[in-house]
Amino acid sequence: MESLSVDEQQAASSSSTSPSAPDTRPTSISPQKRRRVEDSTNAAPHASLLKRMGGPSAGKAGLALDQAEINRRIYEASKGSKYFENERRNDERITRKVEAMLARMDERLRAVPEGGPEWLAIEKKADALASKLESTRDLSRHIVHCDMDQFYGAVELKRDPSLKGKAFGVGKGVLVTASYEARAYGCRSGMATYIAEALCPHLITVPNDMQAYVAASQDVMSIFRRFDSNLAQASLDEAYLDVTDHCRINGVGVDDTIAELRRQVREETGLTVSVGVAPNTMLAKIGSDKNKPDGQFRLEATASDCIDFMHALPVRKVPGVGRVTERILQALGVETCGDIWRLRVRIALVLGDGDLEWLLRYNLGIASSIVEPGKREERKSVGREHTFQPTNDPERLLELLRESADRVAEDLKKLDFVGKRVTLTCKAADFQRFTRDQTQTGYVSQADDIFRITRTLLEHELKIQPGLSLRLIGARVSTLKDVR
């Protein structure tokens, strides 16, 4: 029973107040408070850990080595490091969470036998929810997601053409991007450089130059703005546009419009961009990946095209579904967005109605069709953090905290914000992170105030955890007020 009993009708412009970028995800189940199992360093690696060590962006196509072999090499290279141990702990925690969820599923499935009256009632409710969602589908806009190809790497290539055709990465301790040649060896953004070098011994690494990327980004965004002056910039190298009006006013089809946008970017900046066009932001974003690099993809604006497009799509490809959510869904039997429909009753039983709603949106390919620039007053926090050689010297830690506090105050001043809540962020030498915060009675923005508050929080931690060694310290101010 794969076909949807949902009306194919639509129109009704989305009245949703959701933000322009797809950003919501099913919530995860509550953490369990069971005791951590003891060291199992010598045991064979759990499949999920092997995969986890492959990194969050592992699993893309075009590899010189088999992904399983890459994961094995990454595992070998990182085994025993503090980072690795922390990943192992986190992986165990998720494994326990998934086990607890499966136990709960067994229990619920016993209480609500498949095909029984209660089961059928839940199914009916899920179908009604799907119909309701279907009635909000907006197919009237040409929503565009532009994603620059290998952006930092492309900027570096422009600067140093001798890198062309070579395996190189940008970044120092950690790669922020890898060239397509390096990706073929399994090198990925977010990967430690020493791991990348283990996978690809001839890897060239170049330091990153944010200034250059910001400048290139501004050039590209100003070209995008010719097609939608109201675009939503999602990052330095990504933007959402609504080109419906541009196409109508100029009497140009959307495919030609996008070809023209790509041509202007290529000619004026020497960079290439991949583009997805679809009726909403989620579909456009997934689409921009379809013909990468230097390609464009358009999804036909009909409900059945949207549903078919999502059907075979692995849930992990949906923006907002990360590796933890992927594991939870996998345990339920949900690998693709098509599986969501088949397993809707199980999902409702185990995860609840709220999560079912988001998952049904993925299944149906329904999301916001509203593109608007991020508003300044929507800024939620301003923070700084940095990593250093682990130390337990309290004087040194306070010095480092002072630096973060100074930089946050600088940023707040530049941005004209003051805030009420002050957060201390720490990462211990073993990579475990924690935060401590305090809400003030009045607004703060001065370096001295931010330092004084975070220092008190840090000193308290040092008192209750004597000898605490840290590798990262940061300060953040939130609950902001605009004073511009």
Instruction: Rank residues 240 and 309 by Cβ distance to DNA and give the closer one.
Output: 240
Task: Confirm if 358 and 381 have CB atoms less than 8 A apart.
Answer: no
Q: Is 190 in the site for DNA (CB under 7 A)?
A: yes
* Minimum CB distance to DNA, residue 298 (Å): 19
3-state SS track over 390-435: EECCHHHHHHHHHHHHHHHHHHHHHHCEEEEEEEEEEEECCCCEEE
Q: Which parts of 45-141 fold into alpha helices (H)? A: 47-53, 67-78, 82-111, 117-134
Q: Is 255 helix (H, G, I), strand (E, B) or coil?
A: helix
- C-beta of 471: minimal distance to DNA in Å? 7
Regarding 367 and contact with DNA (CB under 7 A), the answer is: no
Q: Interface with DNA includes 5 (CB under 7 A)?
A: no
Nearest to 166 by CA among 111, 203, 139, 201: 203
> Is 449 among the residues that bind DNA (CB under 7 A)?
no
Question: What one-letter code names the amino acid at 469?
Answer: S
Residue closer to DNA by CB (options 250, 439) is 439
Q: Does the protein bind DNA through residue 9 (CB under 7 A)?
A: no
Binding mask 399-418 for DNA (x = CB under 7 A): ------------x-------
Give the whole-angstrom CA distance, residue 319 versus residue 262.
Answer: 23
Residue 328 CA, distance from chain mean position:
17
DSSP assignments along 12-51, one per residue: S-------SS----PPPPPPP-PPPPP--TTSPPPHHHHH
First-to-final CA distance of the chain: 57
Cβ-Cβ contacts under 8 Å for 3 (sequence gap 6 or more): none
CB nearer to DNA: give 384 or 402.
384
- Alpha carbons within 13 angstroms on the beta-carbon side of residue 157 total 21
Q: How near is the Cβ of 403 to DNA at its closest, in Å?
A: 11
* Dist. CA 345–CA 114, nearest whole Å: 9
Residue 326 near DNA by CB under 7 A: yes
Closer by beta carbon to DNA, 80 or else 293 = 80
Question: Which segment (249-257, 292-300, 303-311, 323-331) binds DNA by CB under 7 A?
Answer: 323-331
From candidates 354, 393, 410, 465, binder to DNA by CB under 7 A = 354
Q: Is 386 in the site for DNA (CB under 7 A)?
A: yes
Is the Cα dihedral 5, 10, 13, 19 positive or negative?
Answer: positive
Subset of residues 206 to 245 that bind DNA, contact rule: CB under 7 A: 234-238
Rule CB under 7 A: say whether 293 interacts with DNA.
no
Q: What string marks each residue from 64 to 103 as x (binds DNA by CB under 7 A) or -?
A: ----------x--xx-xxxxx-----x--xx--x------
Is residue 76 among the annotated active site residues?
Answer: no
To the nearest whole angstrom, how small is the minimum distance from the Cβ of residue 228 to DNA?
Answer: 19
290 binds DNA (CB under 7 A): no
- Find, among 230, 213, 215, the residue nearest to 144 by Cα: 230
DSSP for residue 137 = -
Measured from the CB atom, the residue of 139 and 174 that comes closer to DNA is 174
Residue 352 contacts by C-beta under 8 Å, 6 or more apart in sequence? none
Determine, following the binding rule CB under 7 A, whether residue 382 of this chain makes contact with DNA: yes
> Smaller CB distance to DNA: residue 216 or 303?
216
Q: If binding is defined by CB under 7 A, does position 173 make contact with DNA?
A: yes
Residues 6+ apart with CB under 8 A from 216: 151, 155, 269, 271
Restricted to residues 144-163, the positions that interact with DNA (CB under 7 A) are: none
- Residue 359 lies near DNA (rule: CB under 7 A): no
Q: Which is nearer to DNA, 90 or 131 (CB)?
A: 90
The residues near 107 (Cβ < 8 Å, ≥ 6 apart) are none
Query: Based on CB atoms, which residue is closest to DNA, 6 or 328?
Result: 328
Q: How many residues bind DNA (CB under 7 A)?
A: 71
Minimum Å distance from CB 261 to DNA? Answer: 19
Asked whether position 463 contacts DNA by CB under 7 A, the answer is no
Indicate whether 53 belongs to the interface with DNA (CB under 7 A): yes
Q: Which of 238, 260, 385, 403 is catalytic?
A: 238
Active site residues: 238
